């Protein structure tokens, strides 16, 4: 089976170097591909999905903020045990 892209050829060369495929297997694929001009990739990489910006006003956070002084919070924590 011939290579379908340059990226695939690079991946198989990497597998050859690491010893996961035999040199004969790599050469067989390379010969079947011949001198064909290969695309960089068979299909384009997926683009990251971006969120659409809304035209609404930003809603303020409803999380309660700590408004007590530190000393008061520590005393309260001690009472709780």
User: How far apart, in Å, are the Cα atoms of 67 and each of 59, 61, 64, 73, 78?
Assistant: 21, 15, 9, 10, 18
**Are the C-beta atoms of residues 40 and 6 closer than 8 Å to each other?**
yes
75 Cα distance to chain centroid = 47
Q: In the structure encoding, which two tokens stand for residue 21, read together?
A: 């495929």
Provide the pLDDT for residue 21: 93
**Are the C-beta atoms of residues 5 and 38 closer than 8 Å to each other?**
yes
User: Quick check: pTM over 0.85?
Assistant: no
Residue by residue, pLDDT tens for the chain (81 residues) are 688 889 998 999 999 999 999 999 999 998 988 888 888 888 877 777 666 666 666 666 676 666 666 777 777 777 776
């Amino acid at each position: 089976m011939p290579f379908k892209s340059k990226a695939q050829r690079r991946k198989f060369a990497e597998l050859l170097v690491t010893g996961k495929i035999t040199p004969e297997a790599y050469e067989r694929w390379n010969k079947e591909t011949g001198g064909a001009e290969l695309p960089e990739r068979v299909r384009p990489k997926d683009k990251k999905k971006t969120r659409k910006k809304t035209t609404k006003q930003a809603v303020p956070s409803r999380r309660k903020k700590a408004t007590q002084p530190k000393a008061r919070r520590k005393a309260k924590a001690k009472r709780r045990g």
